[in-house]
Structure 1
């Protein structure tokens, strides 16, 4: 069973640190999104969903046993964390701070989680304006309606939530 922390490639503690917990969280997120077949895996929207889900998976692992549990046993937790009415953004910030307090800033898992969080916050994607008038202008299709620049996490989070539902 793999544990969060500094796994070494040579079996000892002084070798290269491999971010096993983060890599596993990304793998789980990728599989959930691919299984849902919501969008092309090469799209920025897919990347946003993968990062949002990976952060949820990684940061919800409070017992440090992420790699040793059955994914199905965690689905309800991930669904509740990614639900529309939940303060997911604040939860991510708090959990990143808590994780840093426990494992230190040199943790390779935490470094990758922080990089994903920065990308989700700093990247904006052009998306349909869900607050616009229903139906849009006459004669426009869904892809032709009004669009707005949206932080990547705001697109990735509902995609991840839907992917969990479809699993």
Structure 2
């Protein structure tokens, strides 16, 4: 194995080990089932290890892997033709802990679920996975301006929905 391929493989394994919780949460945000999310993570890791030689730079492991994960989850949703709303008590603890209260989470979750899949993907990758816009553009194979436009449009929609109280009884 060449030195570059070895570096890429080690970078991939290190990325997976260090980010396993984030990887799982992202998969879960799509499929809404712990078992299915674990299957999606496992399938994505398998695909990544099988094709790691396609990566030319160890620094591009993160967007490359997330692209595999997002596409694997979207394929599963298309295959099963379902988008299931999940009750907050069924979410993994890490997702709940990152918000100040359960009520805030429920409002945000309902608002996010109202967005189309492409817009939701951009917002989740940007704010929940802390990815840069250029990385998101690579993952989604889109122009960065399209990603920016979708992000800002989605944020405006979320802000409007949350301000209008569409998802909350309290104001």
Higher strand share: 1
* TM-score of the two chains, using structure 1 as the length reference: 0.31
Higher helix share: 2
Q: Relative contact order (C-alpha < 8 Å, sep 6+): which is higher?
A: 1
